[in-house]
Amino acid sequence: MVSDKLRDPQVDDLFRAILALEDIDECYRFFEDLCTTAEIKAMAQRLAVARLLRRGVTYTAIAEATGASTATISRVKRFLNYGADGYKLILERLEGNGK
């Protein structure tokens, strides 16, 4: 279930722009212009945390592997369990592609 407070025409345009990207190089180019390096790294870190949580890795091992705080790990875990299933969706697709 997608939150109504997130949904608006500008966000729709952003997501359409992301969907229009054709390869990783285009993603790098677009996100480098769109976000700060710290924002990109934070999103990548949360995805890595989600992947490790799904594998049953402990908080301590996740923190060591990713540099994420326990607060970040807890937040990702909460969204894995009670969120909109976005992490689940993308991780299943990535795992299905052998990545």
**Residue scoring higher pLDDT (97 or 74):** 74
Distance (Å, rounded) from C-alpha 19 to C-alpha 77? Answer: 26
Percent of the chain with pLDDT over 90: 89
* Sequence-distant (≥ 6) Cβ neighbours of residue 74 within 8 angstroms: 59
* Sequence-distant (≥ 6) Cβ neighbours of residue 21 within 8 angstroms: 27, 30
pLDDT band at residue 98 using 50, 70 and 90 as cut-offs: very low
Residue 72 has pLDDT above 90, yes or no: yes
pLDDT at 97: 62
pLDDT at 1: 65
* Sequence-distant (≥ 6) Cβ neighbours of residue 6 within 8 angstroms: none
Find the mean pLDDT for residues 12-20: 97
> How much is the pTM?
0.89
pLDDT at 99: 45
pLDDT at 96: 86
Percent of the chain with pLDDT over 70: 96
| Structural domains for the chain | 1-34 (no CATH), 38-99 (1.10.1270.10)
